[in-house]
Structure 1
């Protein structure tokens, strides 16, 4: 009897250990990290209240911030490269950074929106009368321990100035590293939840980045734009391409970022609204600004339909390597996206 009781206790204790070890990885990182510092190894995340969102860490060092709402829409700011250099512009969130012009205050680090949605301007910020607002309705951040990544998933409503919803979206932003590079995967599914949605024919969109001021071509410090076809600087503007790279100096160090447009995305390969003054945007909706001729009727997403757009941002230290970038894009393009 005593031996049987001892065996039962050991079995219960072993079961408890197993259940505990399985449960730990499923803890919501946005809750756990809110009360503890970033982990010293791997990718980790911490929930913050001002501005509301999350901070993402790579081996205890800041990688990026995700801000739930910044004057009209969610943004990723800051964006820090693998060498510790800020890869996107600080203005207007912060003023006084070297090489930055105080222009286009709606160009806020890294974001996704569009200039004409049902005739409403979501590209400009909410300081302007009549503009739209993208409002997060729910969100969570988790650590994918298997792939050493931080995954932020959110639901968002696109509302007009009076608060009437025009459509909604689901977003997944994944932060991870590979071969010494920092990578941000952005995926969005646009949902026509409230009737047909028209995405207007305009250059003002859509997956946007404003690079660090010293990186821009116009700073004449060595900044350069290169697309997959080898076109550079102003010649790359408006062209369709699988990817575009923007490189240049930050803190006197050569850095760069490549943006890939996944072939499963709407209208792939897309046109690029990439400028020598530092704007860097993948735009699948624009036509006449890029190609000339009359303005088209745009793209209409019928009531109940969805549209997916997926981009990868690769942040690196050192010189741009076109051959390596093409290989990295091919690997990304071969990945089958998970449902969102």
Structure 2
């Protein structure tokens, strides 16, 4: 069965969060590539020029990230790699503290943490000790041949589902950015079901009018041997757990908005190009604010995906879930990868120092959407 991916939503009036005033913005219309839903691959005849097949060449780098204004550096640490900007921290890429690779901690330009600390560290202000499988910034899925790689506690037995890094392909500084590329194995019950090759690109514009940093995430999934079905579930996939004070349920001014103007609870499960989650980073009347934007690239499989974004703080792009989400025109569902098939996903996470507008998010998305692969050495 062949079916077109969703086209991007038409331009719409966007309602800005109560905490940050009202503005107008428009989401650009972009045509999405055709995909083979049964195989989960792009139609080769219609694949956009920026979709590449050379190993290690699918890290999305936009015109914005081609010349970042803040130099990002890299150093090795126990269990992973540390990314810095100037003399301050940006992010740690860790393979030793969870059941899959995670990025934690993660800081904005003001040096403030941008994800929940628990369960990887002590719980911070307004953090609930719930959902211990929500681990800062991570990528996984809740139904892989019926096996749940999402809802796995850190203290699960050794043969429980896990994603192990099996090879570090490169970790380097390139043009003011940091690139980390790895191979990983999805394992359960003594078997490897799925392999992935993922690339993360870290960049920053700390001195821009709206200081922000970003992480580009590109992953290519393929079966390890037999066919693999990525099932229809809300539990996935490219995910962040926001800091406690930012979540809407903390009632400190946190808010959610997507690219078609839906807010808070109404944004859950809806198709969108991007979602902005922002609010205070500490309790208190004069607390600093910050925001997180996740964007789905037009070249990504099912680019206008559904969003498992919750007022309690979970924030995830999910291109597979359908039955758990509100009914609508967007078509998603399970995808079966046969041996030899590959499925590519591309996302960007933006970390904002201060309040961001829908116009900011829309502008950043346009730059990301226009990005092509520069074939880094």
Instruction: Normalising by structure 2, report the TM-score.
Output: 0.75
Aligned equivalent of 2:107: 80
Aligned equivalent of 1:248: 279
Between the aligned partners of 1:70 and 1:116, the Cα distance in structure 2 is: 22
Between the aligned partners of 2:267 and 2:327, the Cα distance in structure 1 is: 16
2:307 pairs with one of 269, 272, 275: 272
2:262 pairs with one of 231, 243, 246: 231
CA contact (8 A) 2:320 2:333 kept: no
1:182 pairs with one of 192, 213, 217: 213
The change in CA–CA distance for 1:125 and 1:287 in structure 2 (over 3 A counts) is same
Aligned equivalent of 2:363: 327
Between the aligned partners of 1:337 and 1:133, the Cα distance in structure 2 is: 30
After the TM superposition, list the runs of 4 or more consecutive aligned residues in structure 1 that deviate by more than 4 angstroms.
none
How far off is 1:261 after superposition? 0.5
Aligned equivalent of 1:205: 236
Q: For residue 198 of structure 2, give the secondary structure of its aligned residue in structure 1.
A: strand
Q: Structure 2 unaligned runs (5+)?
A: 1-69
- The one of the two structures with greater contact order (alpha-carbon pairs below 8 A, sep at least 6) is 2
Moved more, 222-231 or 130-139: 130-139
CA contact (8 A) 1:124 1:131 kept: no
Q: Is residue 2:142 matched to residue 1:142?
A: no
Q: Structure 1 unaligned runs (5+)?
A: 1-40
Between the aligned partners of 1:101 and 1:161, the Cα distance in structure 2 is: 31
Between the aligned partners of 1:69 and 1:123, the Cα distance in structure 2 is: 17
Looking at CA atoms only, which structure, 1 or 2, has the larger radius of gyration?
A: 1
CA contact (8 A) 1:150 1:174 kept: yes
Q: For residue 288 of structure 1, give the secondary structure of its aligned residue in structure 2.
A: coil
CA contact (8 A) 1:69 1:135 kept: no
Instruction: Normalising by structure 1, report the TM-score.
Output: 0.83
How far off is 1:339 after superposition? 6.9
Between the aligned partners of 1:141 and 1:256, the Cα distance in structure 2 is: 27
Between the aligned partners of 2:96 and 2:374, the Cα distance in structure 1 is: 26
CA contact (8 A) 1:261 1:310 kept: yes
Between the aligned partners of 1:337 and 1:203, the Cα distance in structure 2 is: 30
Aligned equivalent of 1:17: none
Q: For residue 214 of structure 1, give the secondary structure of its aligned residue in structure 2.
A: helix
How far off is 1:125 after superposition? 2.3
CA contact (8 A) 1:195 1:304 kept: no
How far off is 1:292 after superposition? 5.2
Between the aligned partners of 2:72 and 2:149, the Cα distance in structure 1 is: 32
Aligned equivalent of 2:295: 260
Q: For residue 290 of structure 1, give the secondary structure of its aligned residue in structure 2.
A: coil
Between the aligned partners of 2:123 and 2:223, the Cα distance in structure 1 is: 41
Structure (1/2) with the larger helix percentage? 1
Between the aligned partners of 1:197 and 1:282, the Cα distance in structure 2 is: 20
Between the aligned partners of 2:239 and 2:128, the Cα distance in structure 1 is: 17
Between the aligned partners of 2:268 and 2:76, the Cα distance in structure 1 is: 37
Aligned equivalent of 1:308: 344
Q: Deviations over 1:13-70 (max 9, x none)?
A: xxxxxxxxxxxxxxxxxxxxxxxxxxxx821111111xx0011100021100000143
How far off is 1:338 after superposition? 5.6
Between the aligned partners of 1:187 and 1:158, the Cα distance in structure 2 is: 17
Between the aligned partners of 1:246 and 1:46, the Cα distance in structure 2 is: 30
Between the aligned partners of 1:199 and 1:263, the Cα distance in structure 2 is: 20
CA-based RMSD of the aligned residues comes to 1.8
How far off is 1:297 after superposition? 6.8
Between the aligned partners of 2:292 and 2:337, the Cα distance in structure 1 is: 31
